[in-house]
Amino acid sequence: MKILVTGGAGYIGSHTTILLIEAGYEVVIFDNFSNASKESIRRVEAIVGKEIAVIEGDIRSREDLRKVFMAHKIDAVIHFAGLKAVGESVEQPLRYYDNNVNGSAVLCEVMSEYNCKSIIFSSSATVYGDPHTTPILENFPLSATNPYGRSKLMVEEILRDVYVSDSEWKIVLLRYFNPVGAHASGTIGEDPNGLPNNLMPFISQTAVGKREYLSVFGNDYDTVDGTGVRDYIHVVDLAQGHVNALDRIKNFKEPMTINLGTGNGYSVLEMVEAFERASEKKVSYKIAERRAGDIATCFADPSYAKEVLDWEAKRGIDEMCEDVWRWQSQNPSGYIS
């Protein structure tokens, strides 16, 4: 089976490409490289030991997408391409809606033209807003507090509408919790542009000496130590969730919405300690103000993924931190080095 991986040069897409190829799928990567480098693909090729078909293009361009479908008989799409910085989405909402929402709609339109009607979409736990309890189940109320989150909710709804209009579509909406970690080789990993927004790259850049200290956003939440609690999931476990979804997609009778998380929550300070253990480096931090829009606690109930995908996360926070450290210490400047 040939799979189109949009955003396949990015963080989660590159890890998923490896597992897809290892599972026997053929992969075509489609990316505009707005937030990725070609070096990541070169390194993925080195890991899998073969060349990967890559088409540079934008999901908002029908012409770019048609080139893919004319050149390849695509059986299913894993749709990672999108912009993902929450703060930036508040400053540039139209860019986010155009890229994430319009881009996804154009993708579905062109898929339909070529009678390719299976798609796995990267959604996010951000669609649960501030949940009233944890662990979070898939049927919890949905809300968004920023354009990024709203773009994910909108695409989920667009895909459900697409199914209502044509029940031949096979749709899986995967809601990721907090992806961290890196491939065990240490050659690919998360390579954020500029100042990282997310905790893990900030911790690792502090440990490697690129940042002076981590600002811990609030220590007065109602949590184990007052700092925010999240469900960190190893990116390779997350990637495996996509392979399991793809293996089963033809059997799904209707759109599936599935949490991909571990079911365990860890605080910011617990993650700092785990990283210090893994790296044997000190991670300096200072307590700072709460970050606007943050919630106290967020972790998944992953039992539905176990039931319908026969999938569960295997890697714990020590392995996540060890793998991030291997990637960060071997590539202190990311793919540029």
User: Which residues make up the interface to ligand UD1 (CB under 6 A)?
Assistant: 86, 124, 126, 148-149, 178, 197-199, 202, 214-217, 228, 230, 268, 291, 293-294, 298
- Judged by beta carbon distances under 5 to 8 A according to partner kind, the member of ligand UD1, ligand NAD, none in contact with residue 136 is none
Q: How far apart are CA 153 and CA 136, in angstroms?
A: 16
Q: How far apart are CA 268 and CA 257, in angstroms?
A: 28
Containing H/E element for 282?
none
Q: Please, which residue, 169 or 266, has the CB nearer to ligand UD1?
A: 266
Q: How far is the CB of 167 from ligand NAD (least distance, A)?
A: 25
Q: How far is the CB of 14 from ligand NAD (least distance, A)?
A: 8
Any alpha helices (H) in 79-146, and if so which ranges? 86-91, 93-96, 103-113
Task: Assess whether 232 carries a catalytic annotation.
Answer: no
Angle made by CA atoms 172, 198, 29, in degrees to the nearest 5: 45
Q: Please, which residue, 213 or 310, has the CB nearer to ligand UD1?
A: 213
* Cα 276 to the center of its chain, rounded Å: 25
Q: Please, which residue, 55 or 287, has the CB nearer to ligand NAD?
A: 55
Q: How far is the CB of 294 from ligand UD1 (least distance, A)?
A: 5
Q: How far is the CB of 151 from ligand NAD (least distance, A)?
A: 8
**Are the C-beta atoms of residues 300 and 260 closer than 8 Å to each other?**
yes
In this structure, the strands spanning 76-79 and 118-124 are parallel
Q: Tokens standing for 217?
A: 């956003």
Q: How far is the CB of 156 from ligand NAD (least distance, A)?
A: 12
* Sign of the CA dihedral with 87 first, then 91, 95, and 98 last: positive
- Judged by beta carbon distances under 5 to 8 A according to partner kind, the member of ligand UD1, ligand NAD, none in contact with residue 86 is ligand UD1
Q: Please, which residue, 76 or 300, has the CB nearer to ligand UD1?
A: 300
Q: How far is the CB of 303 from ligand NAD (least distance, A)?
A: 20
Beta strands of the chain (E only): which ranges? Answer: 2-6, 26-31, 53-56, 76-79, 118-124, 170-176, 178-180, 214-217, 229-230, 232-234, 256-260, 266-267, 285-288, 297-298
- Interface positions with ligand NAD (CB under 6 A): 6-7, 9-13, 31-36, 58-60, 80-84, 99, 103, 122, 124, 176, 179
Which one is catalytic: 148, 221, 232, 266? 148
Q: Please, which residue, 7 or 57, has the CB nearer to ligand UD1?
A: 7
- Judged by beta carbon distances under 5 to 8 A according to partner kind, the member of ligand UD1, ligand NAD, none in contact with residue 217 is ligand UD1
- Judged by beta carbon distances under 5 to 8 A according to partner kind, the member of ligand UD1, ligand NAD, none in contact with residue 197 is ligand UD1
- Judged by beta carbon distances under 5 to 8 A according to partner kind, the member of ligand UD1, ligand NAD, none in contact with residue 268 is ligand UD1
Backbone angles phi, psi at 27, to 5 degrees: -125, 135
Q: Tokens standing for 190?
A: 């998360």
**Are the C-beta atoms of residues 2 and 78 closer than 8 Å to each other?**
no
**Are the C-beta atoms of residues 52 and 27 closer than 8 Å to each other?**
yes
The catalytic site residues sit at 148
